[in-house]
Amino acid sequence: MSDPSTASPRPDLTVRSRVDVADIAIGLFQAQGYEATSTAQMAAAAGVSRSTFFRQFRSKDDVIFADHDELLEQITDYFTAKHDDPWLAVCEAAIFVFARFRERLEIVRVRDLVVRRASVLRDRETVMVSRYEKTFAAYLRLQLPGVDPVLAIQFAAAVTATHNFALRRMIRAGESSELLDSAGLAAQLHAVRQRFAPTDDHRAAAATPASELLVAVFPASTLPADVARAIEDRLRSSTV
């Protein structure tokens, strides 16, 4: 009889991450249907005990969006660091999520098919999307207390919607040439930021005292040279 102390150790069946277990479960959902797949089958396929499975997930519904939970935690950690431009930090967080899903495109596409076939999962997906939006808005309101809260909420919603639109197009694209990359999404989010976030020009204008502003109104028939001359005269007189 062999010495038990020298035998090869039994594999630890609990080392799989939540995302690993979820990916295996998604494959089962695709093969035999979401409703028809039991937690016992998912645990067995992933090589974990049922007790381990329920330590990782509260219910079967939690399995399919496990990577979202992980990404939200990473975003929260990212926001705890110092960022010079919080508006840009939100855009970069969305790009990070997009890049992560692009790396896992094959399983993400399978999940999309599973979700579209189950109304309960579509509802859960809507809730999950709102978590990103709320996380972005809460970060902006914390970092920029002087900003109108409505603007922060609108910006967070626009960034999330832009990300989700690009993600759905990527997931359902027929050819790889149609896939938007992270740089493409960054360009789209830059346009969103230009619409919502204050630019340096806007901040400079807001910081300019009203006494230093010059507003001029002229009839439409006024010649350009006369407009320029009148403005120049007014500016010269104000500096005397």
Segment 150-194, tens digit of pLDDT = 999 999 999 999 999 999 988 888 665 566 788 889 999 999 999
| Between 113 and 10, the higher pLDDT residue | 113
Out of 48-52, 190-194, 235-239, least confident range: 235-239
**Gap between the Cα atoms of 151 and 143, Å rounded:** 13
Q: Are both 85 and 132 inside the same structural domain?
A: yes
**Gap between the Cα atoms of 14 and 196, Å rounded:** 46
CATH number at residue 123: 1.10.357
Q: Does 139 fall in a domain?
A: yes
Kindly report, residue by residue over 30-43, the tens digit of the pLDDT: 999 999 999 999 99
pLDDT band at 113 (very low <50, low <70, confident <90, very high): very high
Which stretches within the chain are classed as H helix? Answer: 18-32, 39-46, 50-56, 60-63, 66-80, 86-103, 105-117, 119-143, 149-172, 182-196, 200-207, 224-238
97 pLDDT exceeds 80? yes
**Gap between the Cα atoms of 185 and 166, Å rounded:** 7
Question: In this predicted structure, what is the pLDDT of residue 120?
Answer: 86
Question: In this predicted structure, what is the pLDDT of residue 61?
Answer: 81
Nearest alpha carbon to residue 91 among 169, 179, 196: 196
Q: Does 82 fall in a domain?
A: yes
Domain containing 71 equals: 65-198
223 pLDDT exceeds 90? no
Question: In this predicted structure, what is the pLDDT of residue 60?
Answer: 83
| Between 14 and 58, the higher pLDDT residue | 58
206 pLDDT exceeds 90? no
28 pLDDT exceeds 90? yes
Q: Does 224 fall in a domain?
A: no
Q: Does 156 fall in a domain?
A: yes
Q: Are both 132 and 165 inside the same structural domain?
A: yes
Question: In this predicted structure, what is the pLDDT of residue 6?
Answer: 41
| Between 4 and 136, the higher pLDDT residue | 136
Question: In this predicted structure, what is the pLDDT of residue 8?
Answer: 39
CATH number at residue 36: 1.10.10.60
Contact predicate 19/66, CB 8 Å: yes
For residue 33, the SS3 value is coil
Q: Does 237 fall in a domain?
A: no
Q: Does 213 fall in a domain?
A: no
**16 contact partners, CB below 8 Å, separation of at least 6:** 24, 46, 47, 48
Question: In this predicted structure, what is the pLDDT of residue 124?
Answer: 87
Q: Are both 58 and 137 inside the same structural domain?
A: no
Q: Are both 182 and 121 inside the same structural domain?
A: yes
Q: What is the mean pLDDT of residues 102-128?
A: 90
Considering its fold, how many domains does the chain have in total?
Answer: 2
Kindly report, residue by residue over 71-96, the tens digit of the pLDDT: 999 999 999 999 999 999 999 999 99
